[in-house]
Every structure is written in C-alpha cells, then in structure tokens.
Structure 1
Amino acid sequence: EAGPYSVQDPWGFCDGDNPTDAGAAVIANGSSLDCADSSDPVYRVVGVGSNGFPGYSPAFSGTYSRDSYALYGEISGDTSDAFSYQAALRYEDYSDFDSEVIGKVAGIYKISDQVAIRGSFGTGFRAPTPGQQGTTNVSTRLPNGFPVATGLFPAGGPVAQALGATPLQPEKSTQYTVGLVLSGERASITVDAYVINLDDRFNSVSTQDVSTDPDSGAAFANFQALEAAGVAGANSIGGVFWFTNAFDTSSSGVDVVATMPFDFDNSSGKLTASLNYNKTEFESEVTQFFNSESTFDFINNTPNTRWILTYNHYMGDLSLMGRLSYFGEADNQNGSGANPSFQEWDAVTFLDVEAAYQVTEQIKVMVGGRNITDEYPDKDELGDDCCGRIYDSGATVDWQGAYYYGRVTFDF
C-alpha cells in the first residue's frame, strides 16, 4: 500500500487555493505554504521505492509467447559453363502475425575466366522479437529534484498505448544487387552495388515528456493521459518512448573488396582491402515519430564511408596481423527548436595489431591491441554531454581509447 506522500497535500493543508485550519497553523509557525501555487512542495508527489529509484510498477510486466513454423526450399544449378543460378523460397507462419512468403533469385555470368557479373533480387520479412514487444528499460532521472522513470516501454503496454502507441507489426523489405567480379593471378576484386527498401521499419519514437506540472503543456497532457488510462504510478514517470513501425527507408551503397596473396621463401601473406559507402533516405513522413533532431541524426549521425585494410602474415606456427580501420565524417544535431546547433565529427582511423602462436595442436596464444595509437573521436561540443560524459555514447566510432589483450585458446 502506498504511503501518505504518494498523493498531493497528504495532510490536508489546502482547500483549493485557500489553506485549511491545519494549513493556517503551519503558516503561522513560519511555513511558506502557498496553496494557490501549483508548484508548491505540498503538491509534490513522491513515488514509491527507496534510494532514489521508484521501482517497477506491475503494469510494466507481461507474458509473451510465440509459436511459428516455416517451410524452406532452394534450387541451384548451371545452365552452361558460363551461367549459374540460385533460387530460394520461404513460407513462415507466426501465431501472433500473419503468414508470409519471401524469396530470392541470384545469378552469375562469367564473361571470361577473369571477369564475371552477378546480381540478385530478394524480399524479406522480420517479425518483432518478444524482446522488442515486451521490454521495459527505464532509468531514474531527477529533472526537478524528484526521481522519475524515463525510458523504453512496450508498444503494446498500457503506458505507451495511453500516449498513442500501437502494437508492433512485421517489417518487410526488398533488396536488389548488381556486381562485378575480377579475378587474376595476383589479385581479385569484387564490386557490388545494392539497394534495400525497408517498409514499416522498427524504430523508437522521440521521448514523450511527462510532467505533473500543469504549466508544462504537452508533458502535462501526457500525464493526464496516463492517469486517465489508469496507469499505476503515473506521477513517477518522466518520459516515455517505445518501438513502433515508424517509417519506410531506402538504403543504397557500394561494397568493394580486394584481396592480394603473397608468397615468400619461408612464409606467406594476404592483403585485404574493403570499402563501403552507403546512405539512407526516408521514403515516408516521419514527423509524427521524430522531432527534427532525431530526424537529422538518423540520417547523418552514422559515417557514410568506412574502409578496412588488413594484412595477415604466416610463418609456420606464428601469425601476425595488422589492420587499419577508417570511419568517415558524420554530423550531429542538438535541439529541435528554431535554432538547433550542429557539430561535424571528423574522420578517425584506428590501428590494430595481433600476434598469435600455435603452441600445440590444441593450444594457441595471442597478444594484441586495438587502437594502439590511442585515437579518440571528437569531443561532444553540444548539449548532449552530461554527467561526466564527454563523447557521444551513441556514436558508431568507439571512444574507449587503446585496448590491449592476451588470450589463450584450448581446443578439445
């Protein structure tokens, strides 16, 4: 049972805007009580729990189960020495979603022993996982000195549905690829271009603020919606977001992979270079799910360009590896009002090394380091930094600095 501080004015000091006899008595004793002020501490509601954490309401819990079965068929073959094909078909039925049929066709045509072209077309289907359907992941924040729960709530649960959420539905996709294969005695290169169209993409909506302050506008309206829906502990919730089938996107890009082997008198090596460039665009309206900051960051906060250069050298039981990893530029927006601020993240290159020795057939020893030059991405110069955090914790680029390790593996 909730204690007296779980309701406003627990000791009956106010009657509307006027103090009661009990309220007048505490005012006479020096209290600053102001019943006409909605922000007066007498109206502050303290959630249940201890040590600054309101805890989890029973409304946050749930049971999720699913049964599914699928049929899969594949055929592949050669129509000639020059052309090979592959086709696959999959039928899947979920107990909590409709059934779906997806497929893929692919082929490769050899123009010569050194040159070939290839391509594919496919469709995809992805049902939301029980975790995406049912996870509650909240943290405690103190926006006004009062602990409130802010975070992820299930789209099918009472908290999110009170604010307009609808249960998740499956994603569907269509993919196209076309590529070129070049094979030589000293090197091989593959170049593949692709387009992936994704409908009803899963993503979280921007956080919906919740406040018990009548002057907080939409945040107070959200609080009223939670109370009207009978959500237990609505006064201890400060922000809500959920997964939804938010929008459609189209991603296009190019993958290039080149390999070159080396043979020496007593050793060998292989150089591998891979390059990826891609971009994503919205194919549907997103303003009902994203504010301008989330919209900008979704498209621009991940580098479009990424390349990796790796060399492996083998000398009997000893192997050495060196790797350069490049992350291209990215952009970040802070604020969604009339004058948001922007920051461009510079490109970063990491150097990794590793040495491995096969001691016996079963035992292998490895030592190495990641980012041994101790590179860091740019520090956050916008308002996203908080509480000792100086780097964008959601960035693709690692901000942990150099990392060294030793490892022993035993196969049996």
Structure 2
Amino acid sequence: MKIHNNYNPVARSVKFALAASLCISASVAVAQEQQTADATKEKAVEKIAVVGSRSAPRSIGDSPVPIDIIGGEELSKNGSTDMLNLITTTVPSLNVHSNPISDAATLVRPMNLRGLSADSTLILTNGKRRHKSSVIAFLGGGINDGAQGADVSVIPGIALKQVEILRDGAAAQYGSDAIAGVINFVLKNADQGGSFEVKHGEYYEGDGTSTEFAGNIGMPLTDNGFVNASFQYKNVDPTSRSEQRPDAQAFADGGNPNIAPIAQVWGSPEISDDLTIFINSGLDLGNGREAYLFGNYSERDVTGGFYYRNPYNRGGVFSNDGGETLLIGNTDLAAGACPTIGLKDGSGSNLPFDAVNSAVGALPSNCFTFFSMFPGGFTPTFGGNVTDTSITAGTKGAFKSGMLEDILYDFSGSVGRNESSYMMTNTINASLGLDSPTEFNPGKYIQLEKNFTADFVKFVPAGLYEDLTVAFGAQWTEETFEVVAGDSASFEVGQFVDQGFSIGSNGFPGFKPEDAGVSSRRNYAFYTDIEAEMTEALLMGFALRFEDYDTFGSTLNYKLTAQYRLTDDWAVRGSHSTGFRAPTVGQANVSNVQTNLESGLLVDSALLPPTNPVSIELGGSELQPEESTSFAAGVVYSGGDIFMTLDYYRIDVDDRISQSSKINLTDANREALKAAGVKNVDSIQQVSFFTNDFDTKTQGIDFVASYSTYLLEGRSSFNFAYNWNDTSVKSATAITGLDKVSRLENDLPNHRATLTWNQSYDDWSVFVRTNYFGEYQGVHVDWVGTPSEPGTEVNAKAKVTFDAEFSYFINDEFVVSLGAQNIFDTKPERLNLSAVGEPNNAFGGKYYETSPMGINGGYYYLKGTYKF
C-alpha cells in the first residue's frame, strides 16, 4: 500500500488549515459557503462535524463514532419555537416531556438523550462547554429527578449554522456530563447577508398562540473578520388540556358559586417577553492567528399552574382532619375558644356550600378561617424570570518558531451565568392568618461557571498513512451555586403556626436566610487525545483525561475508537470508553420545600442537602461522581446518493445521582435528631435528598439512512432515523424506591422513528415528516403504584403523527411558509384512572403527561421570511 509523503508541504498546509477550522474564521466561512452553494447543484453536501475529534473536522461517514448533523435550514422547517422541540423531531434517541405541573422543571424543561438524565449530556457552543441552568428539576418525572442540565431553550434556531449531536460517551475527551453524548450548537459565521422571520401559530384547540420575530445579520469586522448577530423575541400563550376536577365540580353542583370553570390546568405554561440575543465574531490577526468572541443574553418570564387546594380538606389551610371540620384560627385566645364547624353530614357527604358559608359568617370576631378568603379553594400560580448570559473569548493559531513550532494552539476563557427568580401568586402563608399576602417572591437560584482552557494539536510524522495527530491540553473550572433568600412573608413562621396552620407560601415556601448562601467548587483537568490513520483503511484513536475536584477528589477516564473501511462504500466502527458525571454544586447543597402527590394526596416534602443531619439519619452521605462504561459498534455505508449507519450501544452507569424517594420521618428518627441538637424536626413530615443509590444498564440501536435523488421533476431527499433504547436498573435500594425504578425503565418509549421527505422546485418546496412513538408507561400526577398499592400508570399505545410545511418563493428575497405539526391532530393516551378505584380524571387532566408526543395536539403556523 502506498505511503503518503508525510513531509509534503502542500499536504501539511491543508491539514493545518482543516484543524484550524475548529473555530472558523470569516474568510474561510465565505469560501466554504460559496463552495457549498456550488456543490449542492451537483449532489448533496457532505456533512462535516467538529465535535467528536480534536483532529481535522471529519465527515460523519468517516467518524469512528455516530454523529447527527441538523442543518439550519432543517431546523427552520418546524412550527415550534423551542430548540428542544426542534431537535427532538430529528433525533429519535432524544426525548423531551411536556412537564405541565412540575415545579422548576416548568421553567427549564429537561431532555433525555439515550434514556439518561438531562445532565448526562454535555452541551457545547462552538465547541466550548456551555454553563448549566440554575434550575434543578425537583419534580423530574423519575428520570430527571434532581437533574441540572444546560438551558438549551435559550438558543434560537435562526442563530445556528448547524447542530452536531455526538451519540457516544465522550467524558474522556470533554470532561464531566458527556456520559450519553455531546450536543454542539454551531453559530452562523457569515460576514454578510442575513434574514428576518415572522412566525405566528396556534394549536387546533385555539390556545397556545405563539408570535415570534427573529433575525440574523452578518457584518464584516474590518477587512479580515466578521460579526454575526441573531435575535429572537416571542410570546406564547398557555394551553389547557384539562377537565374540571370531580371534587371541584361537586362543589359547583352543590351551589358553590366560587369554583373556577377549570380548577386545575394541565398544559403548557405561558411564556412572556422571551428575548434572546446571540453574537458570534472572529478576526483574522494575520500570520495564521485569529481571535474569536461569542456570547448571549436571554431573558423570559414563565407562568405555570399548580395543584388545586380543596376548600374542605387542604391540610394546614382549610382542615387538619381530612375534611371533617374546618381549621379555625383564633386571634384572641382570651376571648374564648372558637366554635367547631363540621363539613360532613350524617352520611359522610360534604355539607352544601350555603350551610358552611353561613356557619363561617356567624363566627365570633376573634375567629377566622381561610374559607372566607377562598370559599372556592385556590390554585397557586408558579412561575418566574429566567435570565441567561454568557461570553466566550479566545485566540488560536500556530506557533511559528522555537521548540513549539508547528503546534496549533487555542486559548479560551468563558463565563456563563443563569438566574432563576421564582414567583408565587394566588396563594398564602397560612401561618400569617388573614393578613397574609397572596403574592410572594420565594427567592432565586444563580448558577455561575468560569472555564479557562488551553488546547494544543501537533501533527507528528510517524511513518503512517497520515501524520499522527496528538492533541493535549488543560482546563480550569469554577462552578458556583447561589441561593438567594425570598421575601420574609414567603418563609416566615407566623403566630398561627401553633394552631395548625402551615408555614410559608403554600406550594413553594421561600428560601430562608439560613438556607441562602454561595457554594463553590473548583477543578482542573489535563488530557491527551491521539488519532492515527494507521493505513488508508484503518483509523484509530485514544483519549485519556485526568480531572481533580477540590470536593470529592480525582478521576481518570479513557476512550478508544476505531474505524475500518472494508471497501470504498462500507466501513465498520466501534468505541469503548469510561466516563463520569460530577455532582453539581447545586445538587450537593440545595434545600427546598415542594408539594408533591403521594398516593393521590398532596404532601409537603423537604429536600435537604445529603450531608444534612436529617439526611444522614435517613441514609444520606456526601455525593460522589457517577461512573460509566460505554461500548459501541456499528457499520457505515456511503455509496452514491445513499448514506446509512447502524450502531449498537451499551452504557452502564454506576452510582447514579438522583433525588431519593420521599421518606416519612418516624418518631424514632425525630427523637434521634433532637438528641443531636437538630431544630424544627417536628414540622418535617417527609424528606428527600440527593444520593448515589442505583446502577443502570442502557442499551440500544440507532439506524440512520438518507437518500437524495431527482423525483417528480424536482430535487428530493429522504431521511429515516430509528432508535431502540432500553434502560434497566441493575441495583437499587429502598431510598430509590420501586416507583422510580418503574419510571426509569418504562416512562420513555423503547422505539422512536422519524421519516422525512423534502421536495424542492425553483418556486416552491414541501417538507413532510412522519413521527413514530412506541409504547410507553403513561403516568399521571407522578403517582406510580407498588404491588400493594396500584398507581395511575398504564401501558400507553404507540402513536404516529405527521408534520408538513409548504413554502412558496415569491422571489429571491421573500418566502412564505404554511405548515402544521401533528397535522391530523392525533391524540395522546387518554386518562383512565377508574381501574385503581379513582374517578376518571380525578385531578383534572385529559392525557398522561409522560406522552412523548406531548399533550397539546395539532398545531398550525404561518411564517414569512425575508433574506438579504
């Protein structure tokens, strides 16, 4: 076999230019775009990815690991304005739930790649690590309980050149969090032209109306650089897929005029003033050097719903004996005891509204009940403001002389900050009595991350088919999580707590000053990444990464990759790696009180740090990193206009970090804690904490195929993607709980697939997508049963939906598009709770919220685009 001349100056120049394109300069970008435009006239453009290799960028067919690339144009063919929805319609191994009532997860929805938690996928922007969200998904539907991932929703589609999704463990290359894979958002880098879009749509039900304005512009930065700026501004109305709760309807039928038409709403939240701005820039400094800078500012207000507070039996507010009598407060104990007001008749049925209301009206002046303030009960509204900012700056090039000659370098620093400020309305701090406000600011979480990296690449002649690529570097990171206390009324212990009234803003009590504070952690890493084209047919790679954290210590991980080309069209590939995910600073230090459902009843539960004495009493301990082992093997075919990949993967994760099940404190627990000097133990009913408690095995198959041709006198492209994914819990204790085991194994569908057809002509185009969602575990109100107590879960049926978009090119500048998602309005699995002895839709929902296709149904939209 012929050996290339490793000292050929032309070949080495080309190699250096390709490697330098890891952060593409403006001059290169213009040339690439022109080449791309010319190439599309002849054949489909080869998709090139930066992620997954520290050598020169590779086509996805030549990569030894599976990579999906979603182009900016494909992202635009979607009615949704949420980036999570945009990419899940293309990558079947990526799932996102609607999370209609889920505390902070309403503000930032978690995603799942290959069935693992949201924080098991590393997010990059232009190849640089992106900071995490400040939101911790306390109610994460089992799979994401306690997950703290990046807020992908702030990234607008119009700002992106492409999205690269590495479906393979990569912690040895990129560090913590890359257990399931890596998603790299590549920003546009054109120095001229741009576009402006207006999109308006709504669901078939007539709600969820969305209006979006988005724009992108490329500008030169002197003669040797570029500034590419993008913005998106949108407002989205809420949706409701709800029916009246049976208990609320019974009150209305009994003559209570204060019952809302829908007492509890299941649907998407309202998103207001959602503004995001992204800037990407680069400057050629001459002599092979360049500088780059990119960042964003994003802000939005989100408002969602909570659970309905029944005016007869809500504990700590209306009744403390399950609805037998009203809870009545006494403002002047010297004036005498307050009378008892019963809520049941002789048969055990609720008394009519008039009877209860008359008795409340006759109470002495020193007696009060919240029935007089909320005679129809109340439903708290939960929301907040999410602000996300980041900036990354760096310089890169090649050393020209000395002992470092011909070594490529990339020095960068980044700062990312995400702040979630919470708001509660239409609720009370019952312990304050009737003087309680009904609006509260429970406080805020702030996530701040700083990253500094030094990356180097050296091409070493080694007598192989190509020069040996040796990459090495270092990284320093500081992660800070801050809890800011809420307003005093949101956590204050009022004078009526001794009379049985609950403390704090009902539904989400505020963060107390003693819970507030800043927690930080620093770590440094060293890595090496070697890639060798041993022969014309064989590519091999090895990566090794050492990281040291000032909390739990150090970790060492490796990765092996290989691809062997059997023929010009066929290749086989495989990888093996170890990985880790460090517990976030927030997971190790956060405390919170949340309202959840246990066996169908609302219960307040305290989340405490794992090192809190209460947590330790119940089995908690300091968090350690998750550890993973991954294996993957696949085959690639790239002949003519057909491209196919088939990959099998297995990911074993030990000591997974998650929120424990809710544990009831026993009298013995309380006595032991009091003896240890722990205060306020009597007020705690349930406790949860973060823990390394269970191990999982995830395996699956990804099949991807694409075909381009001329059909029906136009240009046609077909893309098919299929994923089979199965997660099993290998070991767990009672701290995890059988309900979470069931959710981890069954909530996500084992089978997902998409088939798209894009047909283009000179004046118009049409895009059609078919989505298949396999069977899944339908769960309502997070209530999963046990062998002794059945829950709400069912085996939900598979569904097929269709999306379509028609575009008409008025001229070279103006395009009008009309489209619909779930065009036939296919409904998700309908609730049926009667099998477990509960009335159908006991909590007001219509559909199981674990539906992988969402619960909102069909959506149509109209879009206008101006390109310049």
Judge same fold: TM > 0.5, yes or no. yes
- Is residue 301 of structure 1 aligned with residue 747 of structure 2? yes
Q: Deviations 1:356-412 (Å, cap 9, x if unpaired)?
A: 567888887654332222223212334696532333334544112223344567889
> Which position in structure 1 is the counterpart of 2:801?
350
Q: Report the CA distance shift for 1:278/1:374 in structure 2 as closer, same or farther (over 3 A).
A: same
Moved more, 133-142 or 119-128: 133-142
> Which position in structure 2 is the counterpart of 1:215?
none
> Which position in structure 2 is the counterpart of 1:368?
819
Contact kept? 1:258, 1:273, Cα under 8 Å = yes
Moved more, 356-365 or 125-134: 356-365
What is the CA–CA distance in structure 1 between the aligned matches of 2:561 and 2:597, rounded to whole Å? 55
Q: Deviations 1:86-112 (Å, cap 9, x if unpaired)?
A: 222222222223222212111111111
> Which position in structure 2 is the counterpart of 1:263?
710
- Is residue 280 of structure 1 aligned with residue 727 of structure 2? yes
Contact kept? 1:59, 1:158, Cα under 8 Å = no
Q: 1:227 Cα deviation (Å)?
A: 5.2
RMSD: 3.8
Q: 1:199 Cα deviation (Å)?
A: 1.1
Contact kept? 1:59, 1:232, Cα under 8 Å = no
Matches within 5 A, 1:13-412: 45-49=500-504, 54-140=509-595, 149-150=604-605, 152-210=607-665, 218=666, 220-221=667-668, 233-264=680-711, 267-284=714-731, 286-316=732-762, 318-331=764-777, 334-338=784-788, 340=790, 343-355=794-806, 367-382=818-833, 387-406=843-862
What is the CA–CA distance in structure 1 between the aligned matches of 2:818 and 2:758, rounded to whole Å? 15
Q: 1:127 Cα deviation (Å)?
A: 0.5
SS in structure 1 of the partner of residue 518 of structure 2: coil
- The share of aligned pairs that are identical, in percent, is 36
What is the CA–CA distance in structure 1 between the aligned matches of 2:815 and 2:522, rounded to whole Å? 42
Q: Report the CA distance shift for 1:400/1:100 in structure 2 as closer, same or farther (over 3 A).
A: same
What is the CA–CA distance in structure 2 between the aligned matches of 1:59 and 1:232, rounded to whole Å? 13
Q: Report the CA distance shift for 1:391/1:139 in structure 2 as closer, same or farther (over 3 A).
A: farther
SS in structure 2 of the partner of residue 283 of structure 1: strand
What is the CA–CA distance in structure 2 between the aligned matches of 1:363 and 1:389, rounded to whole Å? 43
What is the CA–CA distance in structure 1 between the aligned matches of 2:597 and 2:636, rounded to whole Å? 57
What is the CA–CA distance in structure 2 between the aligned matches of 1:110 and 1:142, rounded to whole Å? 55
Contact kept? 1:62, 1:134, Cα under 8 Å = no
Q: Report the CA distance shift for 1:131/1:397 in structure 2 as closer, same or farther (over 3 A).
A: farther
What is the CA–CA distance in structure 1 between the aligned matches of 2:715 and 2:795, rounded to whole Å? 42
Moved more, 381-390 or 102-111: 381-390
> Which position in structure 2 is the counterpart of 1:11?
none
Aligned residue type for 1:404: Y
What is the CA–CA distance in structure 2 between the aligned matches of 1:391 and 1:229, rounded to whole Å? 47
Contact kept? 1:57, 1:232, Cα under 8 Å = no
SS in structure 2 of the partner of residue 46 of structure 1: coil
Aligned residue type for 1:154: P
Contact kept? 2:746, 2:776, Cα under 8 Å = yes
Q: Report the CA distance shift for 1:142/1:116 in structure 2 as closer, same or farther (over 3 A).
A: closer
Aligned residue type for 2:848: D
Contact kept? 2:767, 2:806, Cα under 8 Å = yes
TM-score by length of 2: 0.38
Q: Deviations 1:330-359 (Å, cap 9, x if unpaired)?
A: 235832252535521111122222345678
What is the CA–CA distance in structure 2 between the aligned matches of 1:346 and 1:107, rounded to whole Å? 39
Number of matched pairs: 372
SS in structure 1 of the partner of residue 541 of structure 2: strand
What is the CA–CA distance in structure 1 between the aligned matches of 2:518 and 2:574, rounded to whole Å? 43
**Higher relative CO (CA 8 A, sep ≥ 6), structure 1 or 2?**
2
Q: Report the CA distance shift for 1:194/1:54 in structure 2 as closer, same or farther (over 3 A).
A: closer
Q: Deviations 1:91-149 (Å, cap 9, x if unpaired)?
A: 22222232222121111111112221111111111111223223445334799xx9963
Aligned residue type for 2:621: T
Q: Deviations 1:147-203 (Å, cap 9, x if unpaired)?
A: 963254432445534433222210111111111122332422211111111111122
SS in structure 2 of the partner of residue 128 of structure 1: coil
Contact kept? 1:54, 1:148, Cα under 8 Å = no
TM-score by length of 1: 0.76
SS in structure 2 of the partner of residue 240 of structure 1: strand
Q: Deviations 1:304-355 (Å, cap 9, x if unpaired)?
A: 1111111223334754322111111123583225253552111112222234
Aligned residue type for 1:338: S
Aligned residue type for 1:282: V
Contact kept? 1:149, 1:236, Cα under 8 Å = no
Moved more, 241-250 or 288-297: 288-297
What is the CA–CA distance in structure 2 between the aligned matches of 1:348 and 1:157, rounded to whole Å? 45
SS in structure 1 of the partner of residue 744 of structure 2: helix
Aligned residue type for 1:242: F
What is the CA–CA distance in structure 2 between the aligned matches of 1:89 and 1:314, rounded to whole Å? 46
What 5-or-longer segments of structure 1 have no aligned partner? Answer: 1-5, 7-22, 33-40, 211-217
Aligned residue type for 2:623: L
Aligned residue type for 2:691: T
What is the CA–CA distance in structure 2 between the aligned matches of 1:314 and 1:229, rounded to whole Å? 73
Aligned residue type for 2:604: A
Q: Deviations 1:241-271 (Å, cap 9, x if unpaired)?
A: 2221111111111111111112248632211
Contact kept? 2:613, 2:678, Cα under 8 Å = yes
> Which position in structure 2 is the counterpart of 1:37?
none
Contact kept? 1:60, 1:153, Cα under 8 Å = no
Q: Report the CA distance shift for 1:57/1:199 in structure 2 as closer, same or farther (over 3 A).
A: same
